[in-house]
Amino acid sequence: MITTRNRRDDLRQTLTALGQLTSKPDEILICADGCSDGTVELVRERFAHCRLIENDVPRGSVFSRDRLLRAATGDIVISLDDDSYPVDRDFLERVKQLFNANPDVAVFSFPEVRDERTVFSPVQRRAVSAYANCAAAMRRDVYLRSSGFPLFFEHMYEEPDYALQCYSLGFVVQFEPSLPVRHHVSPVQRNLLRRHHQNARNELWSVLLRCPFPQVVGVAGFRLWRQFRHACLKGVWWIVKEPLWWWSALLGLPICFRSRKAIPWSIYSRWMRMPREPAQAPLASGELAAVTCAVVITSFNRRAELEYTCAQLQHLSPPPDEVIICLDESTDESRVTLAQRFPEFTVFENPTRQGSIPSRDTAFRRVKSDLILTLDDDSYPIASDFIARAKAVVRSHPEAGAFTFPEIRNGGRPANAMLGTDSPAHYVRDFPNCAGIIRRSLYGTVAKYPRFFSHAYGEPDLCLQLYTAGYAVWFEPSLPIRHHFTANQRNMLRRHQLNARNELWSVFLRCPSPYLFAIAVLRIVRQFVFAFSRGWRWWIREPSWWLDAIRGLPRCLAQRKPVDWKTYYQWLRLGRNSVIGYGALLGKFPRIGRPVLPQFQRENSA
């Protein structure tokens, strides 16, 4: 989409450049904003394939862009000025790939190249607080869900205001350095003093529209002072003219208050800090490959399943940097088979059976790699390039401490219908140990398994610790894990009892008072309802795990570390209410930070 006003020659150059793209856009929309220089005739005669929309009188670029976005039919809208155009001919194909790979991004901003040497943009990929409409790509459906551009702004500052709305809706605005846009910055229709007045006025109006009370008073005062300081730097003439936009801003206060839709302060304050947050150094070539990944497997008397899983691991390319297997007092010759067929794997054995949770805890602490891919002895990655792609996912989500993937069982069906390969990527409450990744630097420092759980429910308790410490759990649908879920060594009734007992123990470990007892009762009742649905052989045995849980209460109370109620409550809700975007996540878990969107920090440097 392009808006224009009396810049016929600039528009001709831009449309000619668009015609040279290798993949043509599905539609080109142009809004002629009260043009009187022959622009309309040029488009109709020379560029008849473009869709022309006319404003009879000038309405401003904000109104014009809103009109184009609502008239467009495509899913992605490239936003350009009449004097800007993509540099690379494969621009459109690469933009589509970016949006497909980043479902939580609402707007991509691109480098704005203003001459042969200067690029007026950051130097690396990162989340940003604003973008330029002369060099951006937008998801149209997100725009239609938002309040849109404030039409009374006329010109300037609609981009930061919309970026703030994107974060409040749970989406991200991301700068992508690999796709430059050439911007000639025509002097026609550009008065710098007038642009300053419009920008300053609209910035103040945006504060009144979005900033919550009582912070709005302080933020408005700060904006006024900052703009006046800028005028002082420009000279006496600018200082003398400053009251003009103050008066214009006052006249617009009524419409600001009528249109006011305040955003939570946790999101607003984080958005304000984004321009001042230091960017990390970009990854050097090959640094991602230097990130290491280990595979951890625990097993008990499943020699055949374990052997098959290990064989599948040998097909991974690149391979894991280390494979650590814990045999939990296995008596079925598993160790002999591993020594003969997989001598490169590290294998250790518990002299007495301890359970999967203590076994994983011990194995995790032996890992030297940056990432831990945790699997069952009957689960393995489907894609041969799983390790490389998983590293890329981790790199893209520094706010996440753990990751989970679709667990595909027999018949090609996911274990959880909401976590399949066709599900959207989103933040989740926990992960299964048969299909998960955790950052090694976090394990044992900010989160760890309660060893006395023995088996079941270790993952949810671990993930609650991660959320409390400021790290999320990300579900990535593009990397499925095959889980054969063998019946060997799986007693479903016993698994239910262990899960129910440990869930209750986790409540006593983490839930703050006075909510503790209400949540504990809720857990007991819910587990009994589940057992009742399975038949009398299940519910008649429910008291056995109640007694087991009571015997473990002294240990729970001795190790009790309650979390704050807001984190606990929001974590509980994640089980039923998925969170797709980072902005929505931040609204629920303000502690979680994302300083640079795609950067991956090697864990062993922490």
Instruction: Dump pLDDT digits (tens) for 114-152.
Output: 765 444 444 456 788 899 988 899 999 899 988 899 999
pLDDT in tens, 516-567: 999 999 999 999 999 999 898 899 999 999 999 999 999 999 999 999 999 9
CA distance 137 to 414: 34
Q: Would you state the pLDDT for residue 553?
A: 93
CA distance 355 to 488: 15
CA distance 570 to 30: 45
Q: Would you state the pLDDT for residue 309?
A: 95
> What are the φ and ψ backbone dihedral angles of 401, each rounded to 5 degrees?
-95, -20
Count of Cβ atoms closer than 10 Å to residue 595 Cβ: 16
Percent share of the chain, pLDDT over 90:
50
Annotate 464-521 with DSSP letters as a single string: HHHHHHT-EEEE-TTS-EEE---STT--HHHHHHHHHHHHHHHHHHHPPTTTHHHHHH
pLDDT in tens, 156-202: 899 999 999 988 887 888 888 878 888 887 565 557 888 889 889 99
- What average pLDDT is seen over the chain? 87
Both tokens of residue 123?
A: 């130097």
Both tokens of residue 474?
A: 């990300």
Q: Would you state the pLDDT for residue 592?
A: 77
Relative orientation angle of helices 8-18 and 39-46, to the nearest 10 degrees = 30
Top-ranked range on mean pLDDT: pick from 101-110, 198-207, 268-277:
198-207
Is the pLDDT assigned to residue 364 strictly greater than 60? yes
Q: Would you state the pLDDT for residue 120?
A: 47
Provide the CB-side half-sphere exposure for 5 (13 A, CA). Answer: 18
Q: Would you state the pLDDT for residue 338?
A: 95
Q: With cut-offs at 50, 70 and 90, classify the pLDDT of residue 98.
A: confident
**406-438 as b/e, with b when 16 or more CB fall inside 10 Å?**
bbbeeeeebbeeebbeeeebbbbbbbbbbbbbb
pLDDT in tens, 276-300: 664 443 333 344 457 899 999 999 9
Alpha-carbon distances of 346 from 170, 352, 437, 443, rounded to whole Å: 42, 19, 19, 20
pLDDT in tens, 430-478: 999 999 999 998 999 889 999 999 888 999 999 999 999 889 999 999 9
Is the pLDDT assigned to residue 106 strictly greater than 50? yes
Overall average pLDDT of the 340-364 stretch: 94
Q: pTM of the prediction? A: 0.59
Peptide bond into 318 cis (omega under 30): yes
Q: Would you state the pLDDT for residue 124?
A: 59
Is the pLDDT assigned to residue 103 strictly greater than 90? no
Amino acid at 114: R
Overall average pLDDT of the 381-388 stretch: 92
If we measure between CA atoms, which residue out of 147, 139, 207, 136 comes closest to residue 171?
139
Better-predicted residue by pLDDT, 410 or 461: 461
For the chain, percent helix, then strand, then coil, each to nearest 5?
45, 15, 40
- The answer to whether 40 and 54 have CB atoms below 8 angstroms apart is yes
Q: Are strands 371-376 and 293-299 parallel, antiparallel or unpaired?
A: parallel
Is the pLDDT assigned to residue 593 strictly greater than 70? no
Q: Would you state the pLDDT for residue 159?
A: 92
pLDDT in tens, 477-494: 999 999 987 766 567 888
Q: Would you state the pLDDT for residue 494?
A: 87
Give every CB contact of residue 187 below 8 A, 6+ residues apart in sequence: none
CA distance 132 to 113: 12
Q: Where are the alpha helices (DSSP H) in 211-353?
A: 215-234, 236-241, 243-251, 253-259, 265-273, 287-290, 303-313, 334-341
Amino acid at 87: V
Peptide bond into 177 cis (omega under 30): no
Is the pLDDT assigned to residue 408 strictly greater than 80? yes
Overall average pLDDT of the 225-250 stretch: 88
> What are the φ and ψ backbone dihedral angles of 437, each rounded to 5 degrees?
-130, 140
Please give the helix or strand (H or E) that residue 161 lies within, else none. Answer: helix 158-168
CA distance 155 to 191: 12
Relative orientation angle of helices 492-510 and 516-534, to the nearest 10 degrees = 170
